A and B are shown apart, each in its own frame.
Chain A
Amino acid sequence: MTVLDVRALSRRFGGLQALSDVTFSVARGEIVGVIGPNGAGKTTLFSTLVGLIRPDSGSVTLDGNGLAGLKPHRVAALGMTKTFQNVALFAESTVLDNVLTAGLLHHGVEAARGEALQCLDRVGLKEVAGKRAGDLSFPERARVELARALCTAPKVLLLDEVMAALNPAEMSEIMRLIRILRDDGVTLLVVEHHMRAIMNICDRILVLNFGRLLASGTPAEVASNPRVIEAYLGHPKDAVHR
């Protein structure tokens, strides 16, 4: 059953076609990877889906609700949120207050505090709840941001490089968490540069290149797709032989 349906999404920034006629749909409970070279439009796609960027044309439908023209807080209320590529915490607030603020979407302050502690527990950060968010290490901050997104109780969660700068142990912990979330009924879209991580957890992969959807399929299909290999490594004819 489709939970997210994206039709002919396009967005131009001046002379750059950041998204061009992107169409795909995601079934409930799927983990979908979004990959592509730098500047392919992955972050723009996520920002457009949650309403931070208005598309020039095209439509996004979340669980039957059209999202055209909705601001991000309305999209969040309907069940879709994202994390930020470079981590966007409320640095001066405590870790708990960061997550609690997200819980206010569906709860009062006291109930939101309880929810926030549960979300922090899930990412293994309950013991640093009272610390100032800006004082944490980068990997910890990435997990706080994940907990904060979880605390909005999303149906669809967009993770923009949450595994950047993680060591292998931390990475497999996040991958384990992503699978648990999926088992809880959350649908996930994941932008990631670590190919092994992406191949490992994703049911399906979308490949973007120059704002266009280049390919879509299972990890194995995508990995053997000549157009994908070309996008990443260049055309064999262009290679410089010495």
Chain B
Amino acid sequence: MKGRIALGMLIVAAALLPLLLDPRGYWIRVLAITLLFAAMAQAWNIVGGLANQISLGHAAFFGIGAYTSTVLLLKFGISPWLGMLAGGALGGLAAFIVAIPTMRLQGHYFALATLAFGEVMRVIANVWTSLTGGPGGLSVPFTAPDFLAYSFKLLRPHAYIALSALVIVTAIFEGIRRSAMGYRLRAIRQNPAAAEVIGVDTTRIKLQAAVISGALTAMLGTLYAQLAVFFDPDTVFGIAGISIRIALIAILGGVGTAAGPILGAFFIIPLEEIMNDLLSSRAAGLSQLVFGIILIAVILWRPRGFITVFDALLARWSRGKSP
């Protein structure tokens, strides 16, 4: 209940924010990117949070989505909305294929295997020039503003689309968390053998979670492509820029909770931007250094994520109210 109120307040605040920001400005872009990363971290949270399988390869699905819709648009003039569905299907298929050999792995081994898969996809995208344009990247062609063609003059619609995506992915995460699948994933996370013995098909449940997470992440790749207008393999398949950032957002915010990825994204992405803004002219790498120090401090302060700060505040608040 407390979580639901906090979540509702966040969504309302996010819905009002685009109206307050300059529609051509820099900060509305930061907002759209923040919402998009929150949604990606939430999609990651289905596998990373509920099953506790820390994937460091989600850029693979993200890049598949970005490339699928953009290539379909460039080569066949297909609307990115439809391209997004195709990308989601391919992303889900890719997640299924990766999950078969990796799902028995745990902890670091799973993280490393998924990391390697993301890298393989980055290399393929760099080499398969005829399809992806290679290291030169792809530009999304500008067409007349039209919702059905996913083309807008201003950034405000992008912010609202990202917000809608965040709401939808969060609803899916929360739906899974409360459903039979959520109970089963939590059981698998804590003791796979005991889960099997009481009737949980651990293989099938893990596959389902991986496919849902991968498909959603790929669909968000299309949102990024349409927002960024230009991208290359090293961006959308990036380890630090996408894979690790997604995991970091969810972990910093609070893994396995619906509010965690949202809190994490609204902390990390703007902080990164502010650090760049303030410090990048002072000395090379200084902004990254300060950013890194802040992240380490936060993790040491709240190892289970920002969500615990809010839990503590809410607990104090409700204690204060009732004698």
Contact = CB atoms under 8 A, between A and B. Distances in A.
Given A93-B186, A97-B183, A101-B183, A71 B199 contact: no
Nearest to B202: A73
A148 interface: yes
A81 B195 CA distance: 11
A52 B179 contact: no
A101 B197 contact: no
Contacts of B180: 104, 108-109, 112
B272 interface: no
B196 A88 contact: no
A154 to B, nearest CB: 10
Interface string B186-223: 11001101111111111100000000000000000000
A101 B179 contact: no
A8 to B, nearest CB: 24
B29 interface: no
Determine chain B's interface SS by DSSP, over half rule. Answer: helix
Contacts of B201: 71, 73
Nearest to A134: B190
B190 to A, nearest CB: 4
Contacts of B58: none
A60 interface: no
B114 to A, nearest CB: 24
A89 interface: yes
Interface of A: 50-52, 71-73, 76-77, 81-82, 84, 88-93, 97, 100-102, 104-105, 108-109, 112, 148-149, 151-152
Interface of B: 178-180, 183-184, 186-187, 190-191, 193-203
The 6 closest A-B pairs by CB, nearest first: A105-B199, A76-B199, A72-B196, A88-B194, A90-B190, A102-B198
30 contacts: A50-B197, A72-B197, A73-B197, A73-B199, A73-B200, A73-B201, A73-B202, A81-B197, A81-B199, A82-B197, A84-B197, A89-B191, A90-B186, A90-B187, A90-B190, A92-B186, A92-B190, A93-B186, A97-B186, A100-B183, A101-B183, A101-B186, A101-B187, A101-B195, A101-B198, A104-B180, A104-B199, A109-B180, A149-B198, A152-B198
